[in-house]
């Protein structure tokens, strides 16, 4: 196995903690994530009022998307060969475990009429519904079919209600010294300004809250002790650590445009804070070479599985909105940052006991 010198600084560490200062690409204002019935999440700390800019659940989605090629509907070139499960419908691509909120526990993989993969996974896991859980058997099965579940967490409640793996990589973005930058506008209807707003016509005034902050910081936590505790081979353990580092570097080097009004970049004028001291996050090019080599060495322990989902896609009936609910307020809705998979963190949060 070729020696990767940048990993030596992590050999005695239980966690890699990385704090990176961010700043808006233009101006000072930015729009944080929002939550139903809550809006922006502000809270009092010993350092004053802080604001949650991006949650751990949403950051998990963003970190995973650094590994996916939308055009090819497959992992990015550097990661081809990692284990994942693709779902087809009527002969064409439908989704993938790397895109699903609950990853390998997705209903498109395990709850459809096609039970082949469900039965295969259950057989590989053995009788884990009762008795002591064989964690090594669980982690080996996840490594074989969906390695991302060992990084972003999973709750296999469709197999057995106690098979959980917490996130080994987590992140969030927080701002300190925040204040509201209130503004507003009007959705204009130049044809019929006085039209019936509940039908989508007419002018609709709205308010808008953005924020300014003294500083914005992104926090990463790669739990090395958890990854080593999977009891996988040395090659598999190294590959998981490299996949975590790859996600962090690619996110920081790539697109931090979280929303239309939240476009951030790394502030190069402020040094990153790292623990353990002495570790430096490698370049993306270095990590691509290292992770490619690691995947090749682990090829025999992973597979790409394809399943079908031909069940009816049922729609939940929703109550009609009242007139007063339409056009009454916030034009932030289309970009409020409500987590597009906020529930994707539920499995990992439960697993970690939080």
Residue spans of the domains in the chain: they are 5-178+213-311
Q: How far apart are the first and last CA of the chain?
A: 37
Contact 337, 209 (CB under 8 A): no
- Calculate the CA 189 to chain-centre distance: 38
**Which pLDDT value is given to residue 131?**
72
CB 135 within 8 A of CB 232: no
Q: What is the pLDDT of residue 321?
A: 55
pLDDT value at residue 152: 95
C-alpha 47/C-alpha 51 separation (Å) is: 12
Instruction: Report phi then psi at 176, rounded to 5.
Output: -125, 150
Pairing state between β 48-54 and 42-45: antiparallel
pLDDT of residue 343: 37
Residue 67 CB neighbour total at 10 angstroms: 20
Q: How many whole angstroms separate alpha carbon 95 and alpha carbon 73?
A: 8
Looking at residue 45, the DSSP 8-state letter turns out to be: E
- Averaged pLDDT, groups of 10, the chain, 354 residues long: 80 96 96 87 90 95 95 96 96 95 90 89 78 86 96 87 90 95 89 90 88 96 97 97 97 92 91 91 96 96 95 78 44 40 40 38
What's residue 351's pLDDT?
41
The pTM of this model reads 0.84
């Amino acid at each position: 196995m070729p020696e990767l010198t940048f990993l030596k600084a992590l050999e005695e560490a239980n966690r890699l903690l990385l704090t990176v200062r961010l700043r808006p690409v233009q101006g000072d204002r930015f729009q944080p994530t929002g939550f139903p019935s809550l809006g922006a999440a502000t809270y009092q700390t010993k350092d004053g009022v802080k604001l949650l800019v991006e949650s751990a659940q949403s950051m998990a989605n963003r970190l995973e998307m650094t590994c996916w090629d939308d055009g090819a509907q497959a992992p990015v070139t550097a990661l081809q060969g990692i284990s994942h499960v693709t779902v087809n419908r009527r002969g064409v691509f439908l989704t993938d475990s790397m895109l699903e909120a609950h990853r390998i526990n997705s209903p498109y993989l395990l709850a459809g009429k096609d039970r082949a993969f469900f039965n295969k996974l259950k057989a590989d896991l053995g009788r884990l519904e009762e008795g002591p859980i064989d964690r090594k058997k669980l982690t080996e099965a996840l490594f074989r079919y969906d390695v991302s579940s060992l990084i972003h967490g999973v709750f296999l409640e469709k197999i057995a209600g106690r098979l959980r793996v917490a996130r080994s990589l987590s992140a969030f973005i927080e701002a300190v010294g925040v204040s509201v930058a209130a503004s507003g506008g009007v959705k204009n209807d130049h044809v019929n300004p006085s039209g019936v707003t509940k039908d989508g016509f007419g002018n609709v005034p709205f308010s808008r809250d953005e924020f300014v902050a003294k500083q914005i910081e992104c926090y990463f936590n790669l739990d090395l002790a958890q990854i080593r505790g999977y009891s996988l081979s040395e090659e598999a353990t190294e590959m998981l650590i490299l996949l975590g580092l790859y996600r962090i570097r690619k996110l920081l080097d790539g697109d931090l445009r979280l929303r239309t009004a939240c476009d951030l970049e790394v502030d190069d004028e402020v040094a990153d804070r790292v623990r353990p001291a002495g570790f430096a996050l490698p370049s993306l090019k270095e990590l691509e070479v290292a992770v490619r080599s690691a995947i090749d060495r682990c090829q025999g322990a992973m597979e790409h599985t394809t399943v079908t989902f031909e069940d009816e896609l049922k729609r939940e009936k929703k109550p009609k909105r009242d007139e007063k609910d339409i056009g009454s307020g916030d034009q932030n809705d289309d970009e409020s940052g409500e987590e597009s998979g906020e529930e994707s963190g539920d499995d990992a949060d439960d697993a970690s006991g939080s």
